[in-house]
Amino acid sequence: MAAVGAETRATFGAWDYGVFAFMLLVSTGIGLWVGLARGGQRSAEDFFTGGRRLAALPVGLSLAASFMSAVQVLGVPAEAYRYGLKFLWMCLGQLLNSLLTAAFYLPVFYRLGLTSTYQYLELRFSRVVRLCGTLQYLVATVLYTGIVIYAPALILNQVTGLDIWASLLSTGVICTFYTTVGGMKAVIWTDVFQVVVMLAGFWVVLARGTMIVGGPRQVLELARNHSRINLMDFDLDPRSRYTFWTFMVGGTLVWLSMYGVNQAQVQRYVACRTEKQAKLALLINQLGLFLIVSSAAGCGIVMFTLYMDCDPLLKGRISAPDQYMPLLVLDIFEDLPGVPGLFLACAYSGTLSTASTSINAMAAVTVEDLIKPRLPNLSPRRLIIISKGLSLIYGSACLTVAALSSLLGGGVLQGSFTVMGVLSGPLLGAFTLGMFLPACNTWGVLSGIAAGLAISLWVAVGATLYPPSAQSMGVLPSSATGCEELSANASGLLGPLLAINASSGASRMDPGRPTLADSFYAISYLYYGALGTLSTILCGALVSFLTGPTKRSSLSPGLLWCDLKQQTASVTPKEEAATLDDSLIKGVEELPPRAKRPPDFLPTDDDRLLFVRQKEVGK
């Protein structure tokens, strides 16, 4: 097929910027209206969890939007373009993650009524473990969010000339503003709008691109003839970037670390009215993720059929794979002003949803883990002021990191995945040890986190210094034979070779290249989190048994998953069961007066009696 688009660099027009500005205006309006309705927030509980009265549908869509940032909006189509439709196996990993989260992790957090995930680590282990997890989360999230804000601005600037600082300030300031004013309710309802915008952007590109190629049948035929329909890839080689097993094992654990124990997501679970609503929200989230990932992967396949004879990367029209998507939008919609602006809104909707989620979650963690324990007598009004101030501070911090990300050059996308992959895996291991291994102690979990961080950081740094070859990763071939002429950046027959060499970094024959570079360092990035999780669990279990395992009787009820399993399995009468269930799943403010506890409560002997009685009823 002939090359799509012209040689001159396309840019966004007035109509495109108008559509983009409209999206920002609507997001701000929704955030302010929802956040300030009914008198706004009366307490920190309202600000961080919406008063624990939110329904499943908006929470589920917000969950789907939280990690679908512009990095994924621009990156998933590019990955499908280069590696084929097997990227859809990511949806299976997400489904397994949702089922595991609903069955094992969500019930523990919900029934304890926690606002901060890391409160659990103090209840189960010690305050040192809690602070370790809190600081690790804050550093990772500030870095990740800053990079997420900067990456799309850089990519769109390189392709379209969109001013970097204008896009940074417009998205960063607006997001910080409505998150600071509206709290969790504003974040969730703007996320709902932004999911709709993301899907609309993808579907418009899919429809237009399919029409240009000649219909869905033609798209599938061309993709099949060029090995892009490759779902049946069951290669066990961990160095292959994407296979069925990569997504089943590595992908599932990566998503589990993000959805099972991540503060940004757990904060949404506990915002639901009931535990049943929280689990329903997870299923709605799964549907949203499937629509977003499949739509993005479909765009990548359509994009390949349009560029299969004249790859823009080989021709020199773009300098990195992440620039494929914005270039395609400008090429196929050059005669339809305003439509490229919809895709611009699509990309930045992902950025807004991720940034607002992170800002609110970081403020919640700081209040619950660092401020309340030291100043327990703060009035609700002061806590609200502090919470809003923290949201403003963290928003400014993320903007600062975004500005400093310009020093990273073109490595911002890889940097964002590295930050989250290295840090989230060991934390998943720590929570898993706490919930499923009663013998695990403080020394064990701290040693496990240290080991998990060391190993995942080791392989991530090694892969950055010695990138794997395109052949070992499984990059599918592309062509520039249909181009009229190659640019100076990729001229003659050296174009494809240069592209492969660029992705592989150093030659395998480089005498300074270590032996691990083509084995351990070359494993798929989806396994980084899995390495951290498994290392944390194994090391934590071993050290715990060597230093004296924790006695099961010394643990308060509700901290282990097996406690909740026994409680759920009880056969109390319907009315009594409903009463017990309601008292367990409600937030601290909703419990009966004699059952009220401060936010950092440690279950007492009365709690232990509750579980004992439930076991007796079930006998």
Under 8 Å CB-to-CB from 532, ≥6 apart: which residues? 421, 422, 424, 425, 426, 428, 429, 452, 453, 455, 456
The helix or strand, by DSSP H or E, that contains position 177, with its residue range, turns out to be: helix 164-213
Predicted pLDDT of residue 381: 81
Sign of the Cα torsion 382, 266, 105, 418 reads negative
Predicted pLDDT of residue 567: 57
Predicted pLDDT of residue 195: 85
Q: What separation in angstroms does the CA of 493 have from each of 82, 440, 474, 486, 497?
A: 20, 59, 21, 9, 8
Question: Can you spell out the DSSP letters for 578-615?
Answer: HHHHHHHHS-GGGS-GGG---TT----HHHHHHHHHHH
Nearest by Cα to 360 from 66, 594, 114: 66
Predicted pLDDT of residue 248: 93
Which residue is associated with the tokens 């090694």? Answer: 462
Nearest by Cα to 362 from 340, 327, 387: 387
By CB atoms closer than 10 A (0-12, 13-18, 19+), residue 510 is: exposed
Predicted pLDDT of residue 50: 62
- Amino acid making up residue 256: L
Predicted pLDDT of residue 279: 92
How many Å apart are CA 200 and CA 183, to the nearest integer?
26
pTM: 0.79
Predicted pLDDT of residue 20: 79
Contact 540, 448 (CB under 8 A): yes
Q: What separation in angstroms does the CA of 150 have from each of 46, 78, 296, 399, 416?
A: 31, 18, 21, 8, 10
Predicted pLDDT of residue 415: 63
pLDDT tens digit string along 24-80? Answer: 788 888 877 876 765 555 666 666 666 667 788 888 888 887 766 777 788 888 889
Give 272's strand partners.
54
Mean pLDDT split into 10-residue runs, the chain, 619 residues: 51 80 83 69 62 79 76 84 90 92 91 86 92 89 82 71 76 77 77 84 92 92 89 88 91 88 85 89 90 92 92 85 85 84 78 80 87 84 85 85 64 62 88 94 95 92 83 82 60 41 46 79 88 95 92 86 63 34 38 39 43 42
Contact 324, 101 (CB under 8 A): no
Predicted pLDDT of residue 37: 67
Phi, psi for 54 (deg, rounded to 5): -85, 150
pLDDT tens digit string along 501-545? Answer: 444 444 445 667 788 888 888 888 889 889 999 999 999 999 999
Contact 149, 171 (CB under 8 A): yes
How many Å apart are CA 168 and CA 176, to the nearest integer?
12
Give 54's strand partners.
272
Contact 164, 157 (CB under 8 A): yes
